[in-house]
Amino acid sequence: MLSGLILFLCWGSFALSFFFVAFALIKNRKYFWWAALSSYVFSFFASWSIGLFTLVFTFIFLIFAAGFTFGWYKKAWHSVASVPLGILLWYPAFKYIDDAYLFFPLHFIL
């Protein structure tokens, strides 16, 4: 029973990430914050296998969210730099920070 719930939360947060990214591109850029949160939850639930690799999307969505919220992007093509910047921020976290610290805010769930 519990494994089914965890599986539902895992794939539900994965689907929500795509939904929020699409909604952020279509309607309001502030939904990148919600995309980052749902991507982070998916990475947590997938941390037993691919979670640390999917954490890169959380970093990219956070850079997008911060850039659009604080007005760092004056033109649409300025946001292209968010992808390499998100990867550059993710790699040291992936390489040097233990996943117990990366997912510390969510460790109370399980």
pLDDT along the chain (110 residues), means of 10: 81 93 91 94 84 89 92 82 91 87 73
Cα 90-22-30 angle, rounded to 5 deg? 70
Q: Is 68 helix (H, G, I), strand (E, B) or coil?
A: helix
- Give the pLDDT of residue 97: 86
CB 86 within 8 A of CB 56: yes
Predicted pLDDT at 110: 58
Which stretches of 28-81 are DSSP H helices? Answer: 31-45, 51-69
- Measured CA to CA, the distance from residue 84 to residue 94 in angstroms comes to 15
The pLDDT score that the predictor gives to residue 38 is: 94
Rg from Cα positions in the chain: 14
How many domains would you assign to the chain? 1
Number of neighbouring beta carbons within 10 Å of residue 56: 19
Q: With CA atoms as reference, report the closest residue to 20 among 6, 45, 44, 41.
A: 41
Q: What is the pLDDT of residue 109?
A: 64
Domain with 56, as residue range(s), is 2-106
